[in-house]
Structure formats: structure tokens, C-alpha cells
Chains A and B, each alone.
Chain A
Amino acid sequence: MLELKSVDAGYGTFQALFGINLDVRAGEAVGVIGPNGAGKTTLMRVISGLIRPAKGSITMEGHDVVATPAHRIVDLGIAHVPENRRLFPRLTVDDNLKMGAYMPGARAKYAERLEFVFDLFPRMKERRSQMAGTLSGGEQQMCAIGRALMSDPKLLLLDEPSAGLAPVVVQQVFELVKRIRASGLTVLIVEQNVQQVLKVVDRAYLLEAGTIRASGTSEEMMKTDTIKQAYLGV
């Protein structure tokens, strides 16, 4: 579904990603793990077009993502839940969700998508006329994921969904990821919480210093010595 081939990317003269090869198949949940500053967020941003790659190719179901204007990439079926959620704090939950359905194709399905999101997150229905900035951390994460789902994506990019949340809420967020998967979506998730994320994904990549150091199924990754020592603490 999504394929990255030898992608280089960075900010100005600073290069954050070096020759990334990565693929996500339809229906899969794939994790990208690694330490702070490894380039995980940059990887997400380069897929959704927030930054453009210096080199390499990115394709989504055969469409050239690099050649697509940034604001059209969502039309290819890629929805990005950015780091720190990035809700519009002084818009209501309803208006935030509405922004997720901005593209003409999504507008036509607005009512149907809204029902889907409210089914997934009944809490959002209760909070719909509340300003997004006044939601709790977990609710904001639901709203951010809901906003991304409003575009009826095929591939959901989740950037550190557990960041800044209380441990009990982190559990809920990973439960959500499972439910989103169950609804048939393909998920690419970036996480520092390695132990948790390996429980919900099929495969994972280890990203360190801007390069892919290892990849494999969740079971394989959990058994890898370097990951065990550095990330799982066993």
C-alpha cells in the first residue's frame, strides 16, 4: 500500500533521514520504534507531505506521493495524526472534526463519517460543542484521531499517540488503536513506548539516528537482543 524507497529528508542543512526503505501492506499495523531524535516524526511528516524528501520515492497505492501537492495527499487516503495532537484549541470538537472532512470527497460522506467517529468515541459526542483546548489529554487524542478518521482514510499515521498521557490513559489509547485496526484500517504508528506498541502491531521497524537498524514481526523484534536491552529493559 505505502512504499518508501531510499528516502532522504531533513530540515535545511540538517539531514534527519538517510536512505529509508519501508513498506506497509493493506490491512497491516506497522510500528516504527526508536529513541528520541531518531527521525520518527520526520518520517511521518515526509509521508504526509509536511516536509518533502530530498531524495527517494514514496508511493501510496501506486500514486507518487512526492509529486502530489501537500494538501492533496490526504486525498490519496493518508491521514496523519500529528505529534502533540495539534487540535485547533479554540474550535469546538465538532468544528475540529469538520476540518478533518474538508476535502470534497469527505464532505459528501460527512454524516456517515461523523457517526463512525462517534461510535468509536462516544465521549466525543458528549463533548461536541466544547472547545478542543479544554478537553483532557486522552480526549484530545480521541479528537485528533477522530479528525483524521473523518477523511475516510485507508492509511492512518499515528505519531506518538501515548506521549504526555497518564499511564491509565496510555492503556486506553492502545485499546483504541486495536479498535481502529479492527475496523479495517491500515495503521503506521510511531512510538517510544516500545513494549506497548509491539503488542498492537504486526511488524515493526527500529529507527536509530535516521536509518532503519532492524525490522521484523513483533515477536521477532521482542526477541532481538538490542531491542530487549535498550527498549524493553529486560
Chain B
Amino acid sequence: MQAFLDIFDIYLLEAVVNGILLGGVLALLALGLNLIFGVIDVTWICYAELVMIGMYGMYYMVQAFGLPYWVAAPIAILLVAGLGALLHYLVIEPLLTAPPINQLLATGGVLFILQSFATVAFGIDFRNLGIRLPVLAIGDMHFSYSRLLAFVAALIGMLAVYFFMTRTYTGTAIRAISQDRQIMSLMGVDTKRIYLITSALGGALAGLAACLLVLQYDVHPFVGLSFGPITFLICVLGGLGNFVGGFIAAFVFAEIISLGGLFADLEWGYVLAFAFFIVMMFIRPAGLLARRS
């Protein structure tokens, strides 16, 4: 092992591994957003704000009510799933036939409502769970357990979605509805119900991301800005609604951020990632895995 590690620049390897770990959570976020877009044809601009609410949920359950993390996490996931269904029922469903720009503006409005609500209800303080997981050292490399846990849990979450989408009737209907929504009633499918389930699933993924991110980051009303824009870029780069494309793009972005942060400051990693995105938009405007029409 040591001989192997000597060959490579140890910090480079550490950055690559950390990029992969970051990619897992970003891929989870991208999957949730892609699911909503691919199936309902609506972009939830406020997706990262659902994550923020979930993080606050975790904070209060763990810090204020003293619930163990493992008990609080499923509750937070259910809470955000319910929030996703509510968002669909109250905001999206009345606008389903409206022009896309109206839907975009409406979910943008929800973004500000959630941010303002969080500011009023929770204050602008940075809060954390007070859980500090140990750091794993392999040779001279250091990986935090919170990132490893996040990566593994994100993969399990994505795998669960994959099996749900391919093995169950409801999952198959979710895939079918994105291809031909008019004839779904001929199959006996209630499209309204499927949209609600899809929205709840998208919310549940945001909730899972919240449980994982709250171990690594402090929560504050504007924490969504740290994940929201990057999640959108990932989805667009992968091709909006394309699950596999989003998955790959998440790791591409994560590596750029992680490696860029190695050679300069972490902020430069983000600058590089956004610059890469702009260049890619010229080269492949429909996304990495654009579907041939």
C-alpha cells in the first residue's frame, strides 16, 4: 500500500478521492431535480431550499429535542418528502398547463418564501448538529467519515430509486408518464397521483441530502445557495431530465471543484467548474448525453 501511495502525489490522490465523495451527494441532488424535471416537466428552482428546510429539521430534532441522529434522519426525509408533495399540490398543479416561465417564476417565488421563512423562524445564525465524526487516515491522506457516510448513503439512496423505478408498477408508470402523459388514463393510471408520488420522491431525495449535508456544513437560511446553482449546472450539463447524464456530470463537476481547490483556493475550484460549464454549453448545448432525436 505504501509503495503504491509513494508513486502518486498524495495530495492529488486525496483530492481525487474527496472529489468522488463530493460527487456522490451532488449526484443525489441532481437525481432529485432531474426526476421532477424529467417526469413533470417542471424545474424546481427552490430544490436546494427544500434541502435547507430538511437541515433545519435535523438541527432541531437533534439539538432541541435530543433525538439520536438515526431516528431524526428518517423523520427529516419524510418531512421533506411531504414538503415536495405539498409544493406540487399547491404551486405546480395549478400551473401545469401554464407557460414554463410562469412555473419557473412560481418556484422561484417559493425559494424566496422559504429563505425568508427560515430567516424569520430560525434567525440568521449558523447552526450545526454538534456531531463531529472522526477522520479516517490512510497513509498521509485524510478523509472525513461524514463525507464517506454521505457518499455511501447517497449511493444507496440512488440505488433504491433505481430499483423503485425499474421493479415496481408505480416506478414504471413514472417512467412511462414522461414519455406520453395523454394516454396514461388508458392504462388506468391516475396522472395526478403519480405526479404527487414523484414530487414526494424528489422531496425525499432532498431530505436524504439534507441529512448527509448537515453532518458537513452549518445550516443557515441561505445555505441552499451553496448547493442549488451547482445542482442546476450539473443537471443542465448532463441533459435536463437525463438521469445517467446527471450522474456522470455530478462526478465531473465534483472532480473539477476538488482538484481546482487543490491547486488554488477552494473558491477557484468553483470558478473552474462554472467556466467549464460555460465552455461545455458551447460544445454540447443539449448536455453530455444528449438524446438523439
Residues of A within 8 A of B (CB): 48-50, 69-75, 79-80, 82, 86, 88-91, 95, 98-100, 102-103, 106-107, 147-148, 151
Which residues of chain B have C-beta atoms less than 8 A from A151's C-beta? 187-188
Interface stretch of the complex, out of B13-21, B177-185, B231-239: B177-185
The answer on a CB contact under 8 Å between A99 and B185 is no
Chain B, interface size category, equals: 10 to 19
The residue of chain B having its C-beta at the shortest distance from the C-beta of A48 within the complex is: B186
The answer on a CB contact under 8 Å between A99 and B182 is no
Residues of B within 8 A of A (CB): 169, 172-173, 175-176, 179-180, 182-191
Which residues of chain A have C-beta atoms less than 8 A from B186's C-beta? 48, 50, 74, 79-80, 82, 148
The answer on a CB contact under 8 Å between A71 and B176 is no
- The residue in A49, A86, A107, A147 that gathers the most chain B C-beta atoms within 10 A of its C-beta is A86
Which residues of chain A have C-beta atoms less than 8 A from B169's C-beta? 98, 102, 107
The answer on a CB contact under 8 Å between A98 and B179 is no
The answer on a CB contact under 8 Å between B176 and A50 is no
Complex CA distance for A102 and B180, rounded to whole angstroms: 15
The residue of chain A having its C-beta at the shortest distance from the C-beta of B291 within the complex is: A90
The answer on a CB contact under 8 Å between A98 and B172 is yes
The answer on a CB contact under 8 Å between A74 and B180 is no
Which residues of chain B have C-beta atoms less than 8 A from A91's C-beta? 172, 175-176, 179
Partner of B185, one of A49, A90, A107: A49
B220 to chain A, nearest CB (A): 41
A69 to chain B, nearest CB (A): 8
The residue of chain B having its C-beta at the shortest distance from the C-beta of A105 within the complex is: B188
Complex CA distance for A70 and B190, rounded to whole angstroms: 8
Which residues of chain A have C-beta atoms less than 8 A from B183's C-beta? 50, 82, 86
Partner of B180, one of A88, A95, A98: A88
